[in-house]
Amino acid sequence: MNSISKDKELNNRIYIIPIIIVTCTIILIGFLIFNGIKNYYYDRMKEESIRLAKNYSLSLAKAAEAEDIINDLLEAKINTALMIASQGEYNNERFKDLAESLDVDEIDYYNAEGVLIISNIDAFFEREDGLWIIEDVHEIRDFLNSGAESFIGGIREDSISGNNFKYGYLRVGTDGCLIQVGVKAERIDNFLGSFGIQYLLDEIFAEGIALRISFIDNDNLIIGSSNKNYLKKSINDKQVLEVINTDKEHGRVIQLNNEEVYEVFVPVTIGNEKMGTLSIVQSFDETKSLITQVSIFGLLALIIIYLSLIYIIITSYQKNKSLMKLAYFDSLTGLPNLQYMKLFLKKEIANQKDKALLLINCSNFKIVNMIFGLDFGDEIIKGLSDKIKELSSENIFPFRFSGDRFGLYIQNYYTRENIVTITEEINEIFKQPFKVKNAEQYLDVKVGIMEFTNNYKNVDYLLRDVLIALNDIKSNEKLNYAFFNEDMDNRIKRQEKIERKIRNVLSNNDNKNLYLEYQPLVDLRTNKIVGFEALARLKSETLGDISPVEFIDIAEKKQLIVPLGNLILEIACNFINNIRNRGFKDIRIAVNVSGIQLLRDDFLYDIKRIMNKSNIDESLLELEITESVLLDNFDLINRKLKRLRDYRIKIALDDFGTGYSSFSRLRDLNIDILKIDRYFVNSLSKVGSKKLMTGSIIQMAHKLDLIVVAEGVEDEEQKRYLIENKCDIMQGFLFSKPLSEADTYKILAENKKS
């Protein structure tokens, strides 16, 4: 069973594969997102560093420019001070005032010998060694000797104070005297320093963006750094050197104090000239926490998407699984259903060796449902299916075929006996009553068996044949199982042909292939024809003449008996008119009616309609009914018979003696005529108890005021016996076989004469 149920379970692969794909995709997307976020922030760090470096380049360029301007300004300032100082009185007080107002540090007056005569700085005159005279090698001496009118020097150390100064000189008067104006270099340095490499670096560093900023000159020497320990150090790292020399921005992750940091190298240019490279080291902390935050956010979103997708896949899996169950498994018994069985057999018919299909049918299950109700029926089916499941093995697979039918597929059996053994096991199940709560119910079983001996191409044919085998088992047969065989098939095919013929006849009103023959009913006292029994005849091009016993039975099974019976009745009524028109009055026509017709609610209506149509004398119509129909519906039928007799229609009980009617019942039955079955009449020519019984039947029937007809009278002996025993009417080959309509006119004419 396991192998079979797995077959129609959901293929898990269809769901596992998408789950794997979704998982991998999500992991990949997660990885890409994380990397993307990381790269995005790295790029931002790099951009930030480049921005800093560019600013730095700009600042450097400006600083260089500024230095020139400041120098110019300073020189202008010194020149101005020289000019102003040279005009007016030369004394210490004035020089002091001028120094203050012109914001210079020193104004001196030297004579032509180089002796300091006047100065704003008192300390120069408080020397113990007297007045200060310019040394032989000195900037001022150079100026004195140069003969130039004025000169502004670079920054140098002041000979007296030792401080660095920038000095300007102007020759005053004609005797070679000069005025010197000095500005403290410290102030200039301070001022110009604010435009220097280190200063700018410190300023950028102060922004707090970087952990370390260094400036590497074109000789690969660190000439500025926020960390003084790096100053004046040469770059030796080959990788860094390579990067520096590419003149392109480059970022890398390095370790600094056991911490991962990001370092970028950005070339710094002024105009088109490369000044050096700026190295900016930034901490990852902030970026890392940003990366972590954004990544967590992204991952959370991904997890939500992932879980949603998995949820969708799982719910669709579960939904499909239950749909699959609904589609292929019977909800009551849990067994695979017919749909499944068909698909399963479709595969199995590929190789048809040693395989068989059993169809188990509970013949009385409908009654169980009707008596105990559907719930009880369901419980019984469940109990039965549990027992059938116990039969399953590696080679035996049970299915629920339909309502009270189960399929059992058997493979790899050796002989038919194996199958018979299984059938006996099935019979064993049914020998015990099925229990539901306190109630018990025995079930009858039939098993149709189909061995895969034919080359079946279609499961439908296979199922059809197993159904044929099942239907072929008659309730009264000894064996309750049957193997499908060709005869069954031929029977079914013949039945199908006959059914088609009947349908054809009905739809075309074909009275060539469906017609009536009439067998005379003869008064035993006068030997005169008093009536005819109408006997239906069906002709088929392929099957020839078909017995009414066969085609009436098929018409009953295929629900064709009502229209067929009505048609027969119409033909019979026409016949009544025809013989009447030919001058034969009082000739009664007996028409056989099926029990199914009688049971129909509209039977009386149909009879009236047909009689009205043909406008016959109702008393000339006789209806023959059989005992079997009375068995289960005595009262209902009897009421209908009364109504028919009220219309003046005669009723005959056909084939008396073969069924179950007793004389006690006959008394209550609304009939006019009793037809003794051929079987009894036949026995009249033989010696035995049946012969005695026939006479008694006639007598008893007469006591009930019934007209007695003997069927199947074939010889004179029988006739004699019947006359002796006062039988009223005879029917049989002795007088005439059933005749065509034309022949009835002849026989009537002859009979009239005789």
Q: Quick one: which of 552, 607, 620, 739 contacts ligand C2E (CB under 6 A)? A: 552
- Nearest distance in Å: CB 638, Mg ion: 19
Spatial distance between the Cα atoms of 619 and 667, rounded to a whole number of angstroms: 22
Supply the DSSP string of 325-365, one letter for each residue: HHHHB-TTT-SB-HHHHHHHHHHHTTS-TTEEEEEEEETTH
Q: Is 517 in the site for Mg ion (CB under 5 A)?
A: no
Q: Is 748 in the site for ligand C2E (CB under 6 A)?
A: no
Q: Is 592 in the site for Mg ion (CB under 5 A)?
A: yes
- Nearest distance in Å: CB 709, Mg ion: 9
Nearest of 646, 543, 567 to residue 604 by alpha carbon: 646
- Nearest distance in Å: CB 676, Mg ion: 9
Of residues 690 through 719, those in contact with Mg ion by CB under 5 A are: 711
Spatial distance between the Cα atoms of 708 and 701, rounded to a whole number of angstroms: 7
Supply the DSSP string of 464-503, one letter for each residue: HHHHHHHHH--TT-S-SEEE--HHHHHHHHHHHHHHHHHH
570-to-111, 564, 610, 747 alpha-carbon distances in Å: 170, 10, 6, 23
Residue 118 belongs to what H/E stretch?
Answer: strand 116-119
Q: Is 553 in the site for ligand C2E (CB under 6 A)?
A: no
Contacting residues for 534 by C-beta, under 8 A, at least 6 apart:
516, 517, 518, 568, 571, 572, 575, 589, 590, 591, 592
- Nearest distance in Å: CB 520, Mg ion: 13
Of residues 195 through 214, those in contact with ligand C2E by CB under 6 A are: none
Spatial distance between the Cα atoms of 29 and 21, rounded to a whole number of angstroms: 12
Nearest of 554, 548, 544, 551 to residue 516 by alpha carbon: 548
Q: Quick one: which of 425, 617, 714, 715 contacts ligand C2E (CB under 6 A)? A: 714
What number of chain residues touch ligand C2E (CB under 6 A)?
A: 23
Q: Is 655 in the site for Mg ion (CB under 5 A)?
A: yes
- Nearest distance in Å: CB 708, ligand C2E: 15
- In one-letter notation, the amino acid at residue 586 is D
If contact means CB under 5 to 8 A according to the sort of partner, which of Mg ion, ligand C2E, none does residue 718 touch?
none
If contact means CB under 5 to 8 A according to the sort of partner, which of ligand C2E, Mg ion, none does residue 714 touch?
ligand C2E
- Nearest distance in Å: CB 656, ligand C2E: 10
Cβ–Cβ under 8 Å, residues 183 and 105: yes
Specify the pairing of strand 707-710 against strand 729-730.
parallel
- Nearest distance in Å: CB 570, ligand C2E: 12
Q: Quick one: which of 348, 570, 654, 728 contacts Mg ion (CB under 5 A)? A: 654
Spatial distance between the Cα atoms of 96 and 119, rounded to a whole number of angstroms: 8
Q: Is 595 in the site for ligand C2E (CB under 6 A)?
A: no
Nearest of 332, 268, 344, 232 to residue 61 by alpha carbon: 268
Q: Is 594 in the site for ligand C2E (CB under 6 A)?
A: yes
- Nearest distance in Å: CB 393, ligand C2E: 49
Q: How many CB atoms lie within 10 A of CB 651?
A: 20
Burial of 664 (0-12, 13-18, 19+ CB in 10 A): exposed
The nearer residue to Mg ion, 275 or 589, going by C-beta atoms, is 589
- Nearest distance in Å: CB 712, ligand C2E: 4
Q: Is 379 in the site for ligand C2E (CB under 6 A)?
A: no
Q: Is 592 in the site for ligand C2E (CB under 6 A)?
A: yes
The DSSP output letter for 672 is S
- Nearest distance in Å: CB 540, ligand C2E: 16
Q: Is 624 in the site for Mg ion (CB under 5 A)?
A: yes
Q: Is 712 in the site for ligand C2E (CB under 6 A)?
A: yes
3 state SS of 416: helix
Q: Quick one: which of 18, 153, 334, 548 contacts ligand C2E (CB under 6 A)? A: 548
Of residues 721 through 740, those in contact with ligand C2E by CB under 6 A are: 731-733, 738
Specify the pairing of strand 673-676 against strand 405-411.
unpaired
Spatial distance between the Cα atoms of 442 and 438, rounded to a whole number of angstroms: 14
If contact means CB under 5 to 8 A according to the sort of partner, which of ligand C2E, Mg ion, none does residue 549 touch?
ligand C2E
Of residues 619 through 638, those in contact with ligand C2E by CB under 6 A are: 624
Of residues 655 through 684, those in contact with ligand C2E by CB under 6 A are: 655, 678
Residues making contact with ligand C2E (CB under 6 A) = 519, 535-536, 547-549, 552, 568, 592-594, 624, 654-655, 678, 711-714, 731-733, 738
Residues making contact with Mg ion (CB under 5 A) = 592, 624, 654-655, 711
